[in-house]
Amino acid sequence: MSKKQNEMTIVEAARALRAREISVQDLWDACHNAAVERNPELNAYLEVFDADEAAIESAQKRIDANDASLLCGIPLAIKDNILIEGKIASAASKMLENYRATYDAAVVKKLKTAGALFVGRTNMDEFAMGSSTEHSAYGRTMNPHDLSRVPGGSSGGSAAAVSAHLCIAALGSDTGGSIRQPAAHTGIVGLKPTYGAVSRSGLIAMGSSLDQIGPLAKTVEDARILHEAIRGKDVLDATTIPDGLYTARELSKSLRIGVPRHLLAEGVGADVLAAFNTTLESLESAGHTLVDIELPTSAHALAAYYIVMPAEVSTNLARLDGIRYGHAARGETLLDDYVLSRTEGFGEETRRRILLGTFVLSSGYVDAYYRKADATRGVLRGEYMDAFEKVDGIAFPTTPSPAFKFGEKSDPLSMYLEDIFTVTANLTGMPAISVPIGFVEREGKSLPVGVHFTAPHQAENVLFTLGEVVSFADKAFSLRSPRTNA
Ligand code: GLN
């Protein structure tokens, strides 16, 4: 067997476990050892957990008894803003440095029931705000394809851990692209599910009307398996979709794919565009049809996102005030306590967004900014719904360019532009996936790029179908493991 166990996909590991070619203990050891060995270099994990012997033993028993789901015994990595009972969940912030979760997030509960194992908690931009994982209070994460470049963000730790095979698959969260963009930058698959498909109970909130938890995986099939395992109605999250309403749409063999060419005219790298065009050709040769579409309001999506999101951030983070929980500094007066705790506890980007959000919600400005952005959101949603009358999915590149260098986007506006293609799916609540389509060269290194598909609400199956077609990239990926670059 040529593949190392930690390099396996969920499907491969599940098959090997059932064929008794490997044991749960072996698989755990392979992932855990890889994580311990390579983490000092990559900083993908904020903490690598010790083995949970009881969980390993019970997973093996279930597999031996032929009573196991595909995720039984599979080592996964979990983003540091998703609660695992008894473990620290810091959202990569000094504010929550010592916060230990008192309960399991709904998704973690489901994964535990399925018998999955947890390798560790992964690095991220503080409170999931960023596109590079440079805003973590615990140091940046390196891109396994080029250690001088960012892995994307905010789920950069999860993406690097999957890409470098320090786990089999991972969970991240996506408020404006934080699963899809790091997936594209590290050559893996990332899915942002339909808003309400997956419970947000136990996810440290960033923008509550935008956040979704989703999988980062080595293949489209693995992403589908993880998604199926974590989705479903939850009484603890009133926005989750009732199970009866979550129906897979009938798909025809030939899908119509909308391509908004006007969005690609500016700013997309020539080689990224070439990779994207090759992908479109492969979709056509597989029998799907390309349709030119226009999404004129897309030009305002990023602006709307950077008003709605900080507004929700300022509200969600208000509870971290040095009194109730989190970092608590003491000054002369109560006001000093608030100011000191929040100044010491929050990083620069977090403070910037709290201020921006407070401003756009303040009386006198709420109509000019927040309400306008919210209205734009409605228009965008309508425009996408109209487009989906004519097409089954919409395609564009996940990012305009491959992973950038550390410090390259220190100006916040240039960093925000990274999210130009991903934020709309969060504003409209629609599901979207990033799938690797190949590599482009930068300074002698091969860097992965991804294609991004959006589908109508609850039509994740369209994303998986389209993703599978372009999945020749999965093979390209395994041929060119990140190690050849490092
Ligand atoms: N990069 C985007 C931002 O900085 C998205 C973050 C996210 O999806 N959590 O807000």
Q: Is residue 318 part of a domain?
A: no
Annotated active-site residue in 136, 154, 158, 446: 154
Q: Is residue 388 part of a domain?
A: no
Output the CA 174–ligand 1 centroid distance in Å.
Answer: 7
Question: What does the pLDDT read at residue 324?
Answer: 84
Output the CA 155–ligand 1 centroid distance in Å.
Answer: 9
Backbone angles phi, psi at 292, to 5 degrees: -75, 130
First to last CA, the chain: 24
Residues 380-424: pLDDT tens digits? Answer: 999 999 999 999 999 999 999 999 999 999 999 999 999 999 999
Between 267 and 175, the more confident residue is 175
pLDDT at 485 over 90: no
> Picking from 1-5, 55-59, 223-227, 352-356, which range would have the lowest pLDDT averaged per residue?
1-5
Output the CA 13–ligand 1 centroid distance in Å.
Answer: 32
Q: Is residue 391 part of a domain?
A: no
Q: Is residue 52 part of a domain?
A: yes
- Write out the residue range of the structural domain in which residue 193 sits: 5-248+477-484
Backbone angles phi, psi at 429, to 5 degrees: 80, 5
Separation between Cα atoms, residue 144 and residue 374, nearest integer Å: 38
**Nearest-CA neighbor of 43 among 137, 217, 160, 190?**
160
Count, in order, helices (H) and strands (E) of the chain: 16, 11
Total number of domains in the chain: 1
Active site residue 285: no
**Domain harbouring 64, CATH code:** 3.90.1300.10
Q: Return the structure tokens found at 445.
A: 């290194």
Separation between Cα atoms, residue 388 and residue 394, nearest integer Å: 8
Q: Is residue 179 part of a domain?
A: yes
The 3-state DSSP composition of the chain as helix, strand, coil percent (nearest 5) reads: 45, 15, 40
Q: Is residue 417 part of a domain?
A: no
Q: Is residue 166 part of a domain?
A: yes
Is 45 in contact with 157 (CB distance < 8 Å)? Answer: yes
Name the DSSP letter for residue 370.
I
**Nearest-CA neighbor of 39 among 121, 130, 149?**
121
Ligand 1, from 80, 150, 154, 313: best to mutate by most atoms within 8 Å of Cβ?
A: 154
Q: Which atom of ligand 1 is nearest to the CA of 210?
A: 8
Residues 361-370: pLDDT tens digits? Answer: 999 999 999 9
State which amino acid sits at residue 12.
Answer: E
Active site residue 445: no
Give the angle 486-214-477 at the CA atoms, nearest 5°.
Answer: 30
Ligand 1 binding site (Cβ under 6 Å of any ligand atom):
128-131, 154, 174-178, 206, 309, 419
Residues 275-331: pLDDT tens digits? Answer: 999 999 999 999 999 999 999 999 999 999 999 999 999 999 999 999 988 999 999
Q: Is residue 457 part of a domain?
A: no
**Nearest-CA neighbor of 122 among 85, 169, 86?**
169
Residues 15-61: pLDDT tens digits? Answer: 999 999 999 999 999 999 999 999 999 999 999 999 999 999 999 99
